[in-house]
């Protein structure tokens, strides 16, 4: 094996060193120390881990070792032995079966930033860079020392959210924010009896120096606590979760430490603020011993408590939900607001996608039900398998589906649906007699396509992620773990370049919003005026920006108020959005751009040269629209031209 740098990365990774988060200098130092360490000492590090250690330190650098790489450690030790032997014998190569894993930077979000560019140019360049896409000569030049070094200099997605002006920077600011929300709820007769007095519990946590909530920012830097707070909401938001789901998720994630801290107080440890709050909520319902036993053997969900409300009363809740609510109504609400401020454009796109697929399904369902009714009448009350199969085939061209990045049309594209039992089918029973036995009933259940909830904004992105990996797999020797590559260090640089090239190619060429607009238009045209008039007045709920109900005409959110709109009118809105989005994609498509979505130190970059200075300096002509070059080479050439 002659690719020493990537071998060093693989060895460092096997021992828990985060190669995708740190620059090559640290990786080389960590791995070089291991590779030149007496082999019995290297083996000793592994023995430490087998005995339960979670961290190791090598030459001042520490690494957290997770189980995902533990199987690679013996292979890494064997590689170190082979390296040391080759070095002693003066050989320049050695053999190893060690693997290296490299992952993309928030793949789903990265795909969305390039498929749906932010209208605000500065914001688009900023969020693209966080996702590993550098647009323009100036941004590309920032990566001259390698992309991982560059990424260390900028705030990543999680850090950006925590540092947002919308996010309280400490507990005191959070309490002020929560009190404002509580004051508003107190003025509402409907809400005051069911809104928790969260600020009181936060004040207790602040006064008692809580162990369950650590500072989010220290010395101007986002802490691990802050990153962990932002990570799950960011990922869930990317997959279309609503505000309620997001804040509840934050509450559940943060509440585990709270209950653990309370248990420590019951076990004779420090009686911190978490212990105080739990004992206050439980009151006289249970003794401390009973509570401790319940928490250990049955969990917090088995304990009922009384929680303070803003009207001065109390509300009965399960302990796990009460604790989760403290964080959900504080940190959860704050994170939801931050995401809505920073990523409102992507939220709007999510709504357009989900609404469009829901409309397509409603139209399909109406046409399907009409044909089923007709077939059932002809079948004298029975729907045969052949009859239903015929219906499904006849309506295939209006099924809620779009053309995918690898498909020829809608029929082999991306379909968005759920499934379930057809209404009333669980009541269909038939009496059957078996020879020599009494008769018995057989229940017939007919399955039916159902409307998907928010899958319309999620599945196409997953599909694109999978399409890139599917094309990557052709004629290559690697294993994928979702969107990560597990490969030989020898192949790592070339494969990362290829992945980044495909990432750029597909996000440039696949017009997802255009495909949705086209499919929606085809479905509306196939439905006809009578069905459109019927469904326009139907009571059904769609996402933000589009609503219908109570026998009234469907309405569209203009940004200021709801105004009546027809399905045809909404389709026009979707088409307008698709056209504007395509203009933005094309705008950035013809700029110099380097993709480092799949990060691998100084290697792995894919540079596309557009109509900017970078193309003229390097290529000297505009004969080709794109050119693939390694980032380090392109920057070297650029510097020569400037000299």
CB atoms < 10 A from the CB of 569, how many?
13
Residues in the chain: 643
Report whether pLDDT(640) > 50. Answer: no
* The pLDDT of residue 604: 55
* The pLDDT of residue 422: 78
557 band by pLDDT with thresholds 50, 70 and 90: low
Model confidence pLDDT, tens digit, residues 61-103? 777 655 556 778 899 999 999 999 999 999 888 888 899 988 8
* The pLDDT of residue 334: 94
CB atoms < 10 A from the CB of 511, how many?
17
* The pLDDT of residue 462: 93
Report whether pLDDT(541) > 70. Answer: no
* The pLDDT of residue 44: 86
- Provide the Cα torsion 625, 511, 591, 351; round to 10°: -170
Tell me the range of 37-41, 444-448, 530-534, 589-593 where mean pLDDT is highest: 37-41
Task: Give the SS3 label for residue 402.
Answer: strand
633 band by pLDDT with thresholds 50, 70 and 90: very low
8 A C-beta contact, residue 22 and residue 152: yes
Report whether pLDDT(631) > 50. Answer: no
Report whether pLDDT(184) > 90. Answer: yes
pTM equals 0.84
DSSP per-residue string spanning 256-296 = HHHHHHHHHHHTTS---HHHHHHHHHHTTSS-HHHHHHHHH
Q: Which region among 255-259, 307-311, 405-409, 611-615 has the lowest average model confidence (pLDDT)? A: 611-615
* Nearest CA-CA partner of 226 in 241, 236, 214: 214
DSSP per-residue string spanning 304-328 = EEEEEBTTS-EEEEEHHHHHHHHHI
Q: What is the mean pLDDT of residues 437-460?
A: 79
CA distances to 217, 437, 610 from 123, rounded to whole Å, are: 23, 74, 21
Place of tokens 């440039």: 508
Report whether pLDDT(498) > 80. Answer: yes
438 band by pLDDT with thresholds 50, 70 and 90: low
Report whether pLDDT(556) > 50. Answer: yes
239: burial class by Cβ within 10 Å (0-12, 13-18, 19+)? middle
Q: What is the mean pLDDT of residues 457-475?
A: 92
Quote the percentage of the chain above a pLDDT of 90.
39
Q: What is the mean pLDDT of residues 553-581?
A: 79
Q: What is the mean pLDDT of residues 287-313?
A: 94
Model confidence pLDDT, tens digit, residues 383-402? 888 888 999 999 999 999 99
Question: What would the two tokens of residue 110 be?
Answer: 């990265």
Whole-angstrom distance, CA of residue 416 vs CA of residue 364: 12
- Which residues on neighbouring strands pair with residue 304, listed in sequence order? 318
More confident residue, 485 or 70: 485
Question: What would the two tokens of residue 460 be?
Answer: 């196409």
DSSP state of 105: S
Question: What would the two tokens of residue 549 be?
Answer: 């109900």
Q: What is the mean pLDDT of residues 323-345?
A: 93
Whole-angstrom distance, CA of residue 176 vs CA of residue 46: 49
Instruction: Return contacts of 310-314, CB within 8 angstroms, 24+ apart.
Output: 310/182, 310/185, 310/186, 310/192, 310/195, 310/196, 310/197, 311/186, 311/192, 311/193, 313/193
Instruction: Return contacts of 274-283, CB within 8 angstroms, 24+ apart.
Output: 274/205, 274/210, 274/211, 274/212, 276/204, 276/208, 277/201, 277/204, 277/205, 278/305, 278/319, 278/323, 281/305, 281/306, 281/307, 281/319, 281/322, 282/319
Quote the percentage of the chain above a pLDDT of 70.
80
More confident residue, 638 or 604: 604
Model confidence pLDDT, tens digit, residues 587-626? 888 787 788 888 664 455 666 655 544 443 333 322 222 3
Q: Which region among 25-34, 51-60, 141-150, 377-386 has the lowest average model confidence (pLDDT)? A: 141-150
8 A C-beta contact, residue 355 and residue 545: yes
* The pLDDT of residue 629: 31
Report whether pLDDT(293) > 70. Answer: yes
Whole-angstrom distance, CA of residue 388 vs CA of residue 397: 16
Residue 229 zone, left/alpha/beta (φ > 0; ψ -120 to 50; rest): alpha
Q: What is the mean pLDDT of residues 457-483?
A: 89
23 band by pLDDT with thresholds 50, 70 and 90: low
* The pLDDT of residue 528: 87
Mean pLDDT across the chain, nearest whole number? Answer: 82
Task: Give the SS3 label for residue 511.
Answer: coil
Q: What is the mean pLDDT of residues 184-209?
A: 91
Model confidence pLDDT, tens digit, residues 247-291? 888 888 888 889 889 999 998 888 999 999 999 999 999 999 999
Whole-angstrom distance, CA of residue 563 vs CA of residue 640: 59
Report whether pLDDT(628) > 50. Answer: no
Place of tokens 């917090």: 300
């Amino acid at each position: 094996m002659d690719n020493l740098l990537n071998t060093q990365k693989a060895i460092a990774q096997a021992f828990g060193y985060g190669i995708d988060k740190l620059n090559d200098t640290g990786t080389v130092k960590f791995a070089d120390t291991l590779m030149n360490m007496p082999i019995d000492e290297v083996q000793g590090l592994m023995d430490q881990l087998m005995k339960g250690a979670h961290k190791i330190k090598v030459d001042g650098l520490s690494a957290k070792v997770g189980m995902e790489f533990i199987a690679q450690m013996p292979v890494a030790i064997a590689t170190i032995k082979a390296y040391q032997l080759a070095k002693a014998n003066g050989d320049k190569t050695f053999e190893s079966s060690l693997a290296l894993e490299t992952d993309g930077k928030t793949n789903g979000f990265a795909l969305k930033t390039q498929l749906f560019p932010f209208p605000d140019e500065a914001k688009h360049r900023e969020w693209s860079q966080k996702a590993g896409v550098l647009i323009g000569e100036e941004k590309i030049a920032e990566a001259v020392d390698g992309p991982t070094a560059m990424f260390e200099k900028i705030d990543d997605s999680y850090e950006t959210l925590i540092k947002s002006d919308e996010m309280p920077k400490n507990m005191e600011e959070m309490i002020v924010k929560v009190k404002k929300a509580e004051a508003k709820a107190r003025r509402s007769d409907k809400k005051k009896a069911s809104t928790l007095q969260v600020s009181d519990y936060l004040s207790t946590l602040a006064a008692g120096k809580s162990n369950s909530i650590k500072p989010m920012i220290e010395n101007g830097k986002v802490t691990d606590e802050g990153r962990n707070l932002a990570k799950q909401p960011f990922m869930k938001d990317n997959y279309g979760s609503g505000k309620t789901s997001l804040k509840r998720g934050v509450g559940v994630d943060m509440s585990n430490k709270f209950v653990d801290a309370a248990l420590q107080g019951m076990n004779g440890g420090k009686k911190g603020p978490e212990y105080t709050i739990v004992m206050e909520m439980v009151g006289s319902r249970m003794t401390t011993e009973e509570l401790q036993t319940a928490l250990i053997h049955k969990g917090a969900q088995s304990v009922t408590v009384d929680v303070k409300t803003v009207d001065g009363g109390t509300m009965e809740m399960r302990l796990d939900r009460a604790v989760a609510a403290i964080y959900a109504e504080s940190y959860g609400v704050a994170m939801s607001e931050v995401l809505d401020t920073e990523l409102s454009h992507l939220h709007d796109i999510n709504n357009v996608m989900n609404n469009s697929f829901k409309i397509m399904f409603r139209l399909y369902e109406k046409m399907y039900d009409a044909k089923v009714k007709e077939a059932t009448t002809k079948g004298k009350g029975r729907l045969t398998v052949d009859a239903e199969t015929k219906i499904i085939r006849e309506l295939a061209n209006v099924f809620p589906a779009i053309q995918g990045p690898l498909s020829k049309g809608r029929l082999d594209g991306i379909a968005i649906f759920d499934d379930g039992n057809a209404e009333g089918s669980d009541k269909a029973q038939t009496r059957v007699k078996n020879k020599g036995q009494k008769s018995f009933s057989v229940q017939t259940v007919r399955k039916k396509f159902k409307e998907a909830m928010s899958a319309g904004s999620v599945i196409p992105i997953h599909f694109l992620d999978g399409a890139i990996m599917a094309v990557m797999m052709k004629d290559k020797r690697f294993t994928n773990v979702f969107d990560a590559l597990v490969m030989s260090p020898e192949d790592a640089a070339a494969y990362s370049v290829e992945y980044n090239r495909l990432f750029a190619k597909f996000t440039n060429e696949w017009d997802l919003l255009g495909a949705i607009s086209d499919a929606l238009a085809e479905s509306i045209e196939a439905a006809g005026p009578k069905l459109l008039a019927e469904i326009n007045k139907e009571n059904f709920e769609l996402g933000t920006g589009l609503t219908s109900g109570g026998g009234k005409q469907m309405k569209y959110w203009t940004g200021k108020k709801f105004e009546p709109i027809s399905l045809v009118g909404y389709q026009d809105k979707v088409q307008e959005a698709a056209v504007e989005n395509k203009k933005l994609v094309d705008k950035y498509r013809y700029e110099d751009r380097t993709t480092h979505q799949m990060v691998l130190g100084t290697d792995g970059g894919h540079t596309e040269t557009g109509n900017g200075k970078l193309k003229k300096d390097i290529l000297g002509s505009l004969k080709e629209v794109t050119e693939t070059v390694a980032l380090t080479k392109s920057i070297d050439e650029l510097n020569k031209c400037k000299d």
